[in-house]
Amino acid sequence: MTKAEIVAEIANKTGIEKVAVQSTVETLMETVKKSMINGENVYLRGFGSFIIKKRAEKTGRNISKNTTIIIPAHNIPSFKPAKSFVNEVKSNVK
């Protein structure tokens, strides 16, 4: 499902104009991104959590040159679904 399809679905279910729904969806996504860039996790009860995972520094290999490289410590965004969400998806096996 694309962002446009999500906007259309919400607009159809709520009767709100697509332009307003799109603005709201865009604002939600921007707010989540800004919060995570600022080091804050975002928790949406019943849906899941957008969390920041910390990756430690590690040694990697460049196999084409047969050299060792250091991959610096860094943060990555991650999504952890709520247990109720996971259970609903699991029970909907076709």
% of the chain with per-residue pLDDT over 90? 91
Residues 22 and 51 in one domain: no
What is the residue-averaged pLDDT of the chain?
94
The domain of 31 spans 1-39
Answer yes or no: do 56 and 90 share one domain: yes
How far is residue 26 from each of residues 34, 41, 45, 52, 66, measured CA to CA in Å? Answer: 12, 18, 20, 21, 45
Question: 82 with 50, same domain?
Answer: yes
**Structure confidence at residue 39 as a pLDDT band (50, 70, 90):** very high
Residue 20 CA, distance from chain mean position: 22
Structural domain count of the chain: 2
| The pLDDT value given to residue 94 | 67
What's the average model confidence in pLDDT over 13-31? 96
Instruction: State whether 61 and 79 are in the same domain.
Output: yes
Looking up residue 57, the CATH number of its domain turns out to be 4.10.520.10
